[in-house]
Amino acid sequence: MAVLKGLLAAVLSVAAAGAAFGADIYPNKPVRIFVGFAPGGATDQLARLYAKKLGEKFNQPFIVENRAGGGGNIAVQALTQAPADGYTIAMAANYVAANAAMKRNPYDWERELAPIGMVASTPNILVVPPNSKLNSVADLIREAKKPDSKLTFGSAGMGSSIHLAGELFKVMAGVDMTHVPYKGVSPAEVDLMAGTVDMMFGSVSTAIPLVQAKKLKAIAVTGPERMKAMPDVPTIEEAGLKGYDVQAVYFMAAPAKVPTPILTSLSEAIAEINRQPDVQSFVERIYAKPLTGGPNEARAFLKAEMEKWQGVVKATGLKVD
């Protein structure tokens, strides 16, 4: 009898250990990926690509949920309020840092977010009407420094990345230009094509097709290097504004208190996916550049971004309600 009791205890012990092990396996149910913008944009496209790849990696569905609004803040705020169990993550971008610099965040990203890994980046493109006399950054600065200059630049709204790119340009070039905010990219581009505004630091996804159709003229790229899609268009830094760099940098994030083993598992998976040739090809097709970088690199980048935009806000007195 004693032997039987011992065997039974051993079996129960092994079963309990197995159950505990099974419960600890991540993920053992679907994972949500929040996106702060509507379907179809770069953030959404990247999220859906990585959802597919993560699902294949972990043999569990990764489901994209679009929670648009607030310049991406609605989705990120929802992420910070979700359980820190790894079953809610997000595809975010450095608007998190820019919004923090403008005190627009209903959360503290440094305390409430855990970056998982960097994914991709896209610059903006400085575009003008096709018949504009501005053909280079030098032309633009020369015109803007004239005493009677009335140059204007359009944007997708106050505090948008397109707006901030213009504000940084003003600070670094030592010029003044009038900002004309619109309710979205499309109406701004319509007025730009018509010559109602003089320029825009446009989104690559919409500006490049318009440049290719000769409806707009590209004079510079806002990132640190030329784009494969537009190799003849110089960077703003090449044109003389050393250190000028404005890009949308996409990264995946989780709530801050997610367990370290889960964060590590996700981070390693993202790094592996980043290296896949089909992923890199897709990223380049949407005019983005594949990135590498884990949690520490992502956090350091966001910190530097926040400090950069805090400097611009201080220099310009920019206020965004």
Q: Are strands 62-66 and 31-35 parallel, antiparallel or unpaired?
A: parallel
At residue 24, the pLDDT reads 67
Q: Cβ-count burial of 231 within 10 angstroms (0-12 exposed, 13-18 middle, 19+ buried)?
A: exposed
Single-letter residue type at 159: G
Query: What whole-number distance in Å separates Cα of residue 25 and Cα of residue 20?
Result: 9
In angstroms, the CA 153 to CA 202 distance is 10
Calculate the average pLDDT of the chain.
91
Tell me if 131 sits within 8 A of 195, measured CB to CB.
Answer: yes
* Model confidence band, residue 21 (pLDDT cutoffs 50, 70, 90): very low
Q: Is the dihedral of CA 205, 122, 308, 321 positive or negative?
A: positive
Q: State pLDDT tens for residues 262-293.
A: 999 999 999 999 999 999 999 999 999 999 99
Q: Which residue has the tokens 């350091």?
A: 300
Question: Mean pLDDT across the stretch 107-130?
Answer: 96
User: Domains (ranges, CATH) in the chain?
Assistant: 24-121+249-316 (3.40.190.150), 123-221 (3.40.190.10)
Residue 39: what are its φ and ψ, rounded to 5°?
A: -60, 145
Q: Give the residue among 249, 227, 252 at the shortest CA–CA distance from 238.
A: 227
Q: What's the alpha-carbon Rg for the chain, to the nearest Å? A: 23
The span from the CA of 52 to the CA of 210, in Å, is 31
pLDDT digits (tens, 9 = 90+) for 143-159: 999 999 999 999 998 88
Q: What is the pLDDT of residue 4?
A: 47
